[in-house]
């Protein structure tokens, strides 16, 4: 079976993130937002603006390199969020739920939201906007141009 792709444009990501903010508004207010790097950074910025939330923390959990999955590793824990009470965790996508389970263990009392969700990961988040099939690879706008372009840092001669 051929790989399926779902291309998300900047405009669509902004609309979907804003729709998520509308859904989250009734559950707040939040003390702060924890963005899961890197994919959660841009949705977190959009949602922070819409919810008028200025305290933004980040967490970095490494689960894959390119398209190869490995054991999750917390590279940078959130410093100020405690057990997550009153905090909102944001990511672009929940796929298998691997990252979600790690962040849930770090911040068990936080509300976890993603813009996109796949069936295997959906039970690990509290709120999401759009569901895509498990076998679909989402192409986010920061990963693509009209064709795939490697990050600048990887194309420079050393």
The span from the CA of 4 to the CA of 28, in Å, is 36
In the 8-state DSSP scheme, what is residue 144? B
The span from the CA of 76 to the CA of 128, in Å, is 24
Q: Are 72 and 43 in contact (CB under 8 A)?
A: no
Beta-carbon neighbour count of residue 51 at 10 Å? 18
Q: Are 113 and 88 in contact (CB under 8 A)?
A: yes
**Does 40 count as an annotated binding residue?**
no
Domain ranges for the chain, please list them: 4-146
**Does 37 count as an annotated binding residue?**
no
- Is pLDDT above 90 for 154? no
**Does 68 count as an annotated binding residue?**
no
pLDDT digits (tens, 9 = 90+) for 98-137: 889 999 999 999 999 999 999 999 999 999 999 999 999 9
CATH architecture entry for 4-146: 3-Layer(aba) Sandwich (3.40)
pTM over 0.75: yes
**Does 91 count as an annotated binding residue?**
yes
- Is pLDDT above 80 for 68? no
**Does 16 count as an annotated binding residue?**
no
Nearest alpha carbon to residue 116 among 104, 125, 106, 107? 125
Active site residues: 91-92, 95
What does the pLDDT read at residue 32?
Answer: 95
**Residue 44: pLDDT band by 50, 70, 90 thresholds?**
very high
Nearest alpha carbon to residue 26 among 124, 111, 130? 111
- Looking at per-residue pLDDT, the higher value among 65 and 103 belongs to 103
């Amino acid at each position: 079976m051929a790989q399926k792709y779902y291309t998300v444009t900047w405009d669509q990501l902004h609309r979907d993130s804003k729709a998520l903010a509308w859904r989250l508004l009734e559950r707040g207010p939040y003390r702060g937002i924890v963005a899961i790097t890197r994919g959660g950074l841009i949705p977190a910025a959009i949602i922070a603006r819409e919810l008028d939330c200025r305290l933004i923390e980040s967490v970095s959990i490494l689960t894959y390199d390119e398209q190869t999955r490995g054991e999750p590793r917390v590279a940078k824990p959130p410093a100020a969020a405690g057990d997550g009470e009153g905090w909102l965790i944001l990511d672009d996508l929940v796929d298998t739920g691997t990252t979600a389970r790690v962040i849930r263990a770090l911040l068990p009392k936080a509300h976890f939201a993603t813009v996109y969700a796949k069936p295997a990961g959906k039970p690990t988040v509290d709120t999401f906007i759009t569901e895509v099939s498990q076998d679909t690879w989402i192409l986010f706008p920061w990963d693509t141009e009209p064709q795939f372009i490697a990050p600048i840092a990887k194309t420079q001669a050393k």
